[in-house]
Chains A and B, each alone.
Chain A
Amino acid sequence: MLEARLGSTTLLKKIVDALKEILSQSTLDCSASGIQLQAMDNSHVSLVAMSLRRECFERYRCDRNVALGLDLKSLMKVLKCASGDDAVTISAADKADKLQLRFESAGNERTADYELRLLNLEQDHLAIPETDYACVVHMPSTEFARICRDLATFSESVVIACSKDGIKFSASGELGSANITLSETSKGDVSLQVEEPVTLCFAVRYLNSFTRATSLADKVKIGLAADVPLLVEYPIEDHGYIRYYLAPKVDD
């Protein structure tokens, strides 16, 4: 059986919020080491990989591997029944068809139990190769969200060009064009590690969906290499992450 307790429901809400625009349904793979999720969006252009190691939880027990197929919108509806500072415990028996969620208020005066029906979902895991990114950029997650939002006004596509001088985001369309360049800052909120310059083009609406994870982390890590998917990674506290991968666009 699985039993996993988080000190605050807010964290779980943020995680589900970061997933549910890209994925409507997905499977949580629970094992002794923690909870993982991997899924493509419906159009198979992007992929989300999430990991919450057991250290993320106040209490964690998983005797046998369990796969929990979830409808994320339904899960969010249940989470909305909790206060943000409630502790949440999720549990499921082996071969369960329901997920139990228990919310406990800070002083333990109120306990609320919910059950969520589980789904039988096809599991379609992809092997993500270890990639040596030619450019790795760290920047404030709010800055990345702002750039993606602003560039979506101009075009469906954004060109990301990274070199030792900076990372440049460009978009152009009928309205006009936009170019935003960030260079490395002395205070370290933007950092660039560049082995060789890379320029790639991406669909901005996926980038905007990824920024739903902004509230999870102050910093976002971006990995770029020629002709491989873009990596956008948000850490979750000290022992977890959400990684989004986005296939580049190529010239017709």
Chain B
Amino acid sequence: NAIRLAGDMSHMASFFVLLFKINKSKSVAGISLKTQELYVLVFCTRYVDIFWNHLSLYNSLMKVIFIALSVMIVYVMRRGVPQRSTYNPELDSFPHHWLVLPCVLLGVAINQDPTSPFEMAWAFSIYLEAVAIMPQLHMVQKHGEAENLTSHYIFLLGLYRVFYLVNWVYRYMTEDGYWQAIVWVSGAVQAVLYLDFFYNYVKSKQKD
């Protein structure tokens, strides 16, 4: 449906905005490497089914694109010259292990098929995605204010989440028996994390 497509497009746009920013400014200052590495982990654990689930060309292609773009971002941040010298590890200080560990435990404990390692990995990726933005938001707070393109990037990620939430309401109403508790609760948590950022983003845009 169109709402979900809008969500996927804003999600993909967020990758391109970030890649554009780090290529054009030659700097990754203010970007959390931890958040970007968590996203690589999120996509690699969620899309292992790329090898056996062929739902549509769109679905498979987008999975490849999301993995490739997230890996590319981490690669530029770690290896890019001069980008790698502009990274601020002292500001990227969120204790991310405390995000991963509970998500592993939750993924093993709460999933749709306790006999399937794939379902555990899949649930883990849903839980981790919900909180993966936290190191980035933490960094923005420490910095005081995010650069324009960085804030557009975070805004697009939040927008993607909002579109998905609306899409789930739409699917619940139009598809008989469509019900995804794990995804909905995690998605709602994820959206809540953006509220404060959204508020400040809109406020600063009004000032401009």
Are A and B physically bound partners? no
Instruction: Spell out A's residues near B (CB within 8 Å).
Output: none
Instruction: Spell out B's residues near A (CB within 8 Å).
Output: none
